[in-house]
Structures are given as structure tokens and as C-alpha cells.
Amino acid sequence: MPHVTIIFDRLRWEEKELFEKGKELGLDINMIDVKNEPKELTNFNKDPQIADIVLQRTISHYRGLYYSAILENYGHTVINSFITSLLCGNKLLTTLLLAKNGIPTPKTYAAFSMESALKVIDKLGYPVVIKPIVGSWGRMIAKINDKEQAESILETREMLTDPQQQIYYIQEYVKRPPRDIRGIVVNGRVVTAIYRYQPEDDWRTNIARGGKAEQIKIDGELEELMIKASNVVNAKIVGVDAMETENGYVIHELNNNLEFHGAFQATGIDIAKEIMAFVKELVRN
């Protein structure tokens, strides 16, 4: 049996790098494409082709979430766990936990009809930000500047067949520099952090949308916030996103299955090796 199994649904640079760094550290690793491996739900025995320690690296939130649940039911240890993936992958649940644990986060509302969503937007004042509760890479996130735009976006979402699109996650627009901060936390330690600068033609900072990464040495206050945020969801490997405001830092998202190629290029920090060194410690224990 291998020491570690990496599960994925599309082989990106990150998965290849994790595999190579794990090999360099002496780990016996195999990789499994979850799209090709159905699982029996009524079986409670460990899968012999899957290691005791599993690194979950699927792009699809739902594939990773439910595959993790199945493997944990078999007795495998999944990093990150089902519950961590659930909490980080759902912005509504993330916000509830951050706020409950005293971690500064933007003022956010959940509305469950178009009419109540419009009331919330009026209460917050324009501009506001609306996000899907599940999603990544800045997709379907919109900055709403006026009532006409709000009605147009909400009417479109009302027509979509996915019922989650009728759960309106509405957030105050945070006045910040043209950037945010991504910290990468591995086993309770910030291994590196970057500024993510928004491109000239977009207000979003996602590197997948053309954002530019630049290394930053974070201060003790932000480091403490990032570690605390990772702990409230029991994340072993997580990207913590923060914004600078005139009143201090706010944490706005947690990413349990982060991409880190851009951060590696900007900082030179061997993030894959940091992750696999942590995984190796799990294998030893």
C-alpha cells in the first residue's frame, strides 16, 4: 500500500509538483482521478489501492466533498477533511464561523428572495458585492453599483435552475487598496503570503483572472488572524484571504483546496515541499 494518495479530477501544475516533492521526500505516492473511480457506499472497509493518508486536490468542490466523506467512512484520513471542505467551500458557513469566533470579516447578509435581497442592498448602500455561496476563481461575483444593476443581476439569478443561486450572499464593498492578501497556512503556520493585485480592467484580484502576485512579509497581527481563521475550520492546508481597511484587516475567504503556482513564482517558497513535509509527518505518526 502507498504512503499517500493524491485524489484529483484534473491534473494541474500543483498536483504534479506535490507528487514530485513527495517522491523527493521518500514517500510512496499514487494518484487517483476520482472521475474514473466509483465507490460503494455500503462498504465500510478501507480501499486497498488508497493509502491511509489522502491529499484531496479536486477542482470540483462537490466531487472532493463527497469523495472525502466516502473515504473517511472507509477509515482513511483525508486532508483537508470533509467538514473542513464543507465549511471552507461554502462562503455563508465560512462567514458565520469567522464572525462567531471574533475574526474581523466584512459585513454580510444572506437573503432568500429577490425582494429581501433588494432590501438588504438598500440597507448596505451601493456599491455592494454579491457572491455565490459556492464557487471559486471569482466566477459569478459581481460588484453592484446601482438599483438597476441589482435588479438585473437578481432577476437573472432567479431564472437559474440551481437553487443555490436563489440564496443571496450579499457583502459590503470594502474600501481597500487595489489588492488583497493571500496567506498560505500549513499545519498552523503561515509558510508564505502574497499581495494579489487586481488587473487594470477588473476589481477582482484572483490570479486566475489576471491578478498579479507579489511577495509580502506579513506583520504579527495578520499572521495571528490567519492562523486563527485556519483553526476555526480545522484546516491543515488552507489559503486565507485578507483585505486591508482603514480600520485594520478583515478576513473574507478561506480556500481549502488552493492553487499556489502564482505564489510560488512570486515568492520562491517551495510550497509543495512544505505541504508534503507536513504530510510525511502524518505518515510517520
Q: Is the pLDDT of residue 17 over 80?
A: yes
Cell numbers for 115: 425582494
Residue 193 φ then ψ, to 5°: -150, 150
State the average pLDDT over residues 45-73. Answer: 95
- Predicted confidence (pLDDT) per residue in 270-280, tens digit: 999 999 999 99
Predicted confidence at residue 205, as pLDDT, reads 63
Q: Is the pLDDT of residue 210 over 80?
A: no
pTM value surpassing 0.85: yes
Q: How far is CA 42 from CA 5, 36, 64, in A?
A: 22, 19, 19
Class of domain 175-278: alpha beta
Domain assignments of the chain as residue spans, ordered by start: 4-87, 108-172, 175-278
Of the options 3.40.50.300, 3.60.9.10, 3.40.50.20, 3.40.50.720, the CATH number for the domain spanning 4-87:
3.40.50.20
Domain 108-172 falls in which CATH fold?
Answer: Dna Ligase; domain 1 (3.30.1490)
Q: Is the pLDDT of residue 73 over 70?
A: yes
**Distant-in-sequence, close-in-space partners of 143: CB < 8 Å, separation ≥ 6:** 127, 128, 129, 173, 203
Q: Which amino acid is at 270?
A: D
